[in-house]
Structure 1
Amino acid sequence: MTEERPEASTNAIQQRFYVVSPTKFVTLFVGTLGVYSIYWFYKHWDLYRLRSGGTQWPVMRGLFPIFFAHALFSIFSREYNEKFNTTRYNFTHYATIFVGVSVCSYFFNQLSVNEIGRPFSDLFSFVALPIITWVLYHMQLVVNGICGDLQGDSNNQFSFLNYSCLLLGGLGWVIVVFGLIESFQA
């Protein structure tokens, strides 16, 4: 969903994790209704696998992040503590929030699909988005700090693919908003 500028990706093995500016992260995440998280998790796992020589499957970890968020955030914790010579930070509670809200959102979405509890079951899936955005935004700030690029200057430009995804996400937003309006009027 994004393209790093050439100087940011000259050697993927040297890049510790996926750096992106906070503004670009929030815009892509919210603008794509959270679908950007697939790429976000994939990219972190792919760079970690390249650097560590591991055998992880980044695509699967991107598609099913609830099963791997604790492991990734634990890696973030370890790397952050090593970089800043401390032992006090453990970011796995963010993974717990991410997993809990994601599972609840899926549950309420299934209720909504089956016409149970509407319109409130529709609304919870919508409310979950800012919570998940907040969690992943904080993790992105941690990662940017680990990589020494707190503002994400190495990846702050939007590519054609980014704009294309935002256009599709905009269409998704129109559908979501009209769906919520329709469910409250019914």
Structure 2
Amino acid sequence: MNPATEAGNRLSKTTPWCDDKRINLYVVSVSKFLLLYGLTAGGYMVYWSYRNWASYKAETGAPIAPLLRAALWPFFILPLFEVVQNGLDRTGRCYFWQPETRGLLIMLLVMFSVLVSTLFTRPADAVYVLFTNAVLITGCCAMLVAAQRAINMLAGDPQGSVNKALSWANFAWMVAGTLLMAIVGYMEFMSQR
């Protein structure tokens, strides 16, 4: 990779825990990722983050707490993206996705979502808050798709073929997420009447 491209992909020069072997993270097809992310209103990120950090810990022995990093995923998105980019650099796989820019934008969108939900608490603001959060969730999703493609590229499975089928658990989470979104939407609609 040329120095200009590497500089555009890296914010810090931290060393990964394990330089001598390829890091395989959580491979999933982009279509499955989009479906699970969308139908759980972004809740899939907790599981996605956990699986990535648990894989990293299992392969490197790094002293991290995957469950904590999953619960607080927006704060650990930059280190995760750096792990991915370090792996791509080590394996010589080229994929230009600007991980730091994406990570910072994701953190900004999540913080903005929290601020909107916190500052606009009047019943009349409910529709505005729901619409804004839907737009922010969609924006985060767009940023995360490139990250999943980078993870798949790192594993040597650009299409995520190894994890493209939906399981019964996937269907259960999608149904639960859809029901929750419908209930929230219905309650907001009823509060406006």
Is the shorter-chain TM-score for this pair beyond 0.5, marking a shared fold? yes
What's 2:74 paired with? 66
Instruction: Give 1:52 shift.
Output: 1.0
For residues 36-185 of structure 1, what are the structure 2 equivalents within 5 Å? 36-84=44-92, 90-113=98-121, 115=123, 117-179=125-187, 181-182=189-190, 185=192
RMSD: 2.4
Query: Equivalent residue for 2:10?
Result: none
Query: For residues 22 and 130 of structure 2, what CA distance do their matches in structure 1 show?
Result: 43
User: What is the aligned counterpart of 1:31 among 39, 49, 63?
Assistant: 39
Do structure 1's residue 22 and structure 2's residue 30 form an aligned pair? yes
Question: What is the CA distance between 1:87 and its match in structure 2?
Answer: 10
Q: Secondary structure at the match of 1:119?
A: helix
Classify 1:89/1:79 alpha carbon distance in 2 versus 1 (closer, same or farther; 3 Å): farther
Alignment CA distance shift 1:131-1:90 (3 Å): closer
Is there any run of 5+ residues in structure 2 with no aligned partner, and where? 1-20
Specify the alignment match of 1:4 in structure 2.
none
Distance in 1 between residues matched to 2:139 and 2:120, nearest whole Å: 20
How many Å separate the matches in 1 of 2:96 and 2:176?
41
2:27–2:151 CA contact under 8 A, matched in 1: yes
Return the letter of the residue paired with 2:105.
I
Structure 1, unmatched stretches of 5+, are 1-12
Using the TM superposition, give the Cα deviation of residue 88 of structure 1 relative to its aligned residue in structure 2, in angstroms. 6.9
- Matched pairs, number: 173
C-alpha separation between the residues in 2 aligned to 1:148 and 1:129? 28
Amino acid across the alignment from 2:145:
Y
Change (3 A) 1:155 1:78: same
Shift of 1:173: 2.2
CA distance in 2, matches of 1:36, 1:14: 25
- 2:81 and 2:57 map into 1 onto residues whose CA distance is 15
Quote the offset at 1:127 in angstroms: 1.1
- Report if the CA contact (8 A) 2:106-2:140 is conserved: yes
Structure 1 residue 14, shift from structure 2 partner: 7.8
Q: Give structure 1 regions of 4+ aligned residues with deviation exceeding 4 angstroms.
A: 85-90, 114-118, 179-183
SS of corresponding position for 1:102: helix
Percent identical residues = 24
Q: What's the TM-score once normalised by structure 2's chain length?
A: 0.80
Distance 1:116 1:173, change over 3 A: closer
Check conservation: 1:77, 1:89, Cα contact below 8 A: no
State the distance in 2 between where 1:27 and 1:85 align.
27
